[in-house]
Amino acid sequence: MATSANDVEALISKGYKAGFITEVESDTAPPGLNEDVIRLISSKKNEPEWLLEWRLGAFRQWLKKEAPRWAHVRHQPIDYQAISYYSAPKSRKDGPKSLDEVDPKLLETYEKLGIPLREREILAGVAVDAVFDSVSVATTFREKLAEAGVIFCSFSEAVQNHPELVRKYLGSVVPVADNFYAALNSAVFSDGSFCYIPKGVRCPMELSTYFRINAAKTGQFERTLIVAEEGSYVSYLEGCTAPMRDENQLHAAVVELVAMKDARIKYSTVQNWYPGDEEGRGGIYNFVTKRGECRGENSQISWTQVETGSAITWKYPSCVLTGDNSTGEFYSVALTNNCQQADTGTKMIHIGRNTRSTIISKGISAGRGQNAYRGLVKVTKGADNARNYTQCDSLLIGPKCGAHTFPYIEVKNPTARVEHEATTSKVSEDQLFYCRSRGISREDALNMIVNGFCREVFKELPMEFAVEAQKLLGVSLEGAVG
């Protein structure tokens, strides 16, 4: 390569001196996206040549693409040249010195969710000098995982320590040119997680607590890759019920899952990014590409998501059912309150024979929230006896919100059976009054009704996560009833 990393840095710092933004740390690239920035990212991370080429390839594809317009969401155009694409991992020193300096509203929410004090500090980005308990917890976890042969590390570490695995699977489920945001992510992704479960291994723990602590550090362009070898099993929990402080408005993550023969991946997400204020100002845009491939026979991938945060959510966790007898599942609760917008759903692509998929989507709209379900069930020619069951329920709270359902069905095989059921209901005054006349407060009554509506999805979540998710819905709905 002609340009060395140093040249690039020199170039960039010149640009910076010329007055990009004030007060940029030396380890942050100035705003803007071009090939040099990508080279800088790659070199900072000490990446092998092939990965740099891969990023550049993605960038060139991205340049040819336009942001999708079909989603049922509205926002101002995003200026991709105004974003800074590289920032060295922040030291804790930059955060608030103590919880006293943290937004009281955030603290109030932590309180309501019952987040332990130490975790509140971490989530709020408080600079804590002492060695975290969490670090030692994470280390213990790692040792236990290593014993089982499971690799679970940051994406950057995986690139250094297991380059052959990363190279084999990266982009194999979500090709670089898959869509606008995926291409962008592929070009500039910062970090994320890598998880590899060897043949026949049942991951000895739910990959959760570790994540909860570390989630606070996830970047704007996160990359996750999970590979489950033949006969293995893993349950992976992403995200966090506590709202996180984050200055980045745009988030475009990519998650790829690969399940080999008889393998099973259970991927659960609770997403609670800042939704913006009551007028929708300042919230996170969450444009994510999540896809899993059931590559081997009898494999199974199941997505469970509870989405309550973000100003805009654009997200379609999908399953490509390549292996015969493989199964894809999607369980989703998406809540929009105030001015939040969500366009979310799933794609189930049936390729192998006797493949099965289940979609249970629960959309809740309150305030002026707009909630759209968009789902594709595609049965290709060779997918004999494919089966899909889709149930798509919407719950409206108040008169100003909206629910929309866009089911797309493409069937190319006559033996396929595809069922779709959809309902829309309202939380009625009668229901609320009935509960209140029994002594239950209006807010608790609403929670109860909403949680009842989501029951089929919550029961798919790991126990502790389900309890948190219920509380989270309650907090997210506050003020939704007069």
Partner 1 sequence: MTMLSIRNLHAAVEGKAILKGLSLEVMAGEVHAIMGPNGSGKSTLAHVLSGREGYEVTEGSIVFEGKDLLAMSPEERARDGVFLAFQYPVEIPGVNNVYMLKAALNAIRRHRGEPELDAVDFLRLIKEKAMLVQMDERFLSRAVNEGFSGGEKKRNEILQMAVLEPKLALLDETDSGLDIDALRVVANGVNQLRRSDRAIVMITHYQRLLEHIVPDFVHVLAGGRIVRSGGRDLAVTLEERGYDWLKEEAA
Q: DSSP string covering 430-465, please?
A: HHHHHHHTTT--HHHHHHHHHHHHTHHHHTTS-HHH
Q: Are strands 151-154 and 191-197 parallel, antiparallel or unpaired?
A: antiparallel
Interface with partner 1 (CB under 8 A), residue total: 23
Q: Which of 133, 194, 189 is nearest to 160 (CA)?
A: 194
Q: Binding residue for partner 1 (CB under 8 A) from 453, 468, 473, 474?
A: 453
- The reply on whether position 3 binds partner 1 by CB under 8 A is no
- The reply on whether position 448 binds partner 1 by CB under 8 A is yes
CB-nearer residue toward partner 1: 202 or 436: 436
Shortest distance in whole angstroms from residue 448 CB to partner 1: 5
Shortest distance in whole angstroms from residue 306 CB to partner 1: 15
The half-sphere exposure of 203 on its side-chain side, counting CA atoms within 13 A, is 25
Within 57-96, the residues that bind partner 1 by CB under 8 A are: none
Three-state DSSP state, 214: helix
- The reply on whether position 14 binds partner 1 by CB under 8 A is no
- The reply on whether position 201 binds partner 1 by CB under 8 A is no
CA-CA distance, 261 to 352, in Å (whole number)? 13
- The reply on whether position 431 binds partner 1 by CB under 8 A is yes
Region from 95-103, 244-252, 294-302, 450-458 binding partner 1, contact rule CB under 8 A? 450-458
* Phi, then psi, of 44 in degrees rounded to 5: -60, -35
Q: Binding residue for partner 1 (CB under 8 A) from 21, 428, 463, 464?
A: 428
Within 120-179, the residues that bind partner 1 by CB under 8 A are: none
- The reply on whether position 480 binds partner 1 by CB under 8 A is no
The beta-carbon contacts of 56-64 under 8 Å, at least 24 apart in sequence, are 56/187, 57/176, 58/176, 58/177, 58/183, 58/184, 58/186, 58/187, 59/33, 59/35, 59/183, 59/187, 59/188, 61/176, 61/177, 61/183, 62/180, 62/183, 62/184, 62/186, 62/187
Within 367-426, the residues that bind partner 1 by CB under 8 A are: 425
Q: Binding residue for partner 1 (CB under 8 A) from 23, 79, 147, 430?
A: 430
Spatial strand order of the sheet with 387-397 comes to 233-239, 264-271, 300-307, 327-336, 356-366, 387-397, 417-426
Q: Binding residue for partner 1 (CB under 8 A) from 284, 351, 435, 466?
A: 435
Find out whether 310 and 280 touch, Cβ atoms under 8 Å: no
CB-nearer residue toward partner 1: 168 or 455: 455
Region from 23-31, 188-196, 383-391, 429-437 binding partner 1, contact rule CB under 8 A? 429-437
Region from 149-157, 210-218, 437-445, 467-475 binding partner 1, contact rule CB under 8 A? 437-445
Shortest distance in whole angstroms from residue 354 CB to partner 1: 32
Which residues bind to partner 1, rule: CB under 8 A? 425, 428-431, 433-442, 444, 448-449, 451-455
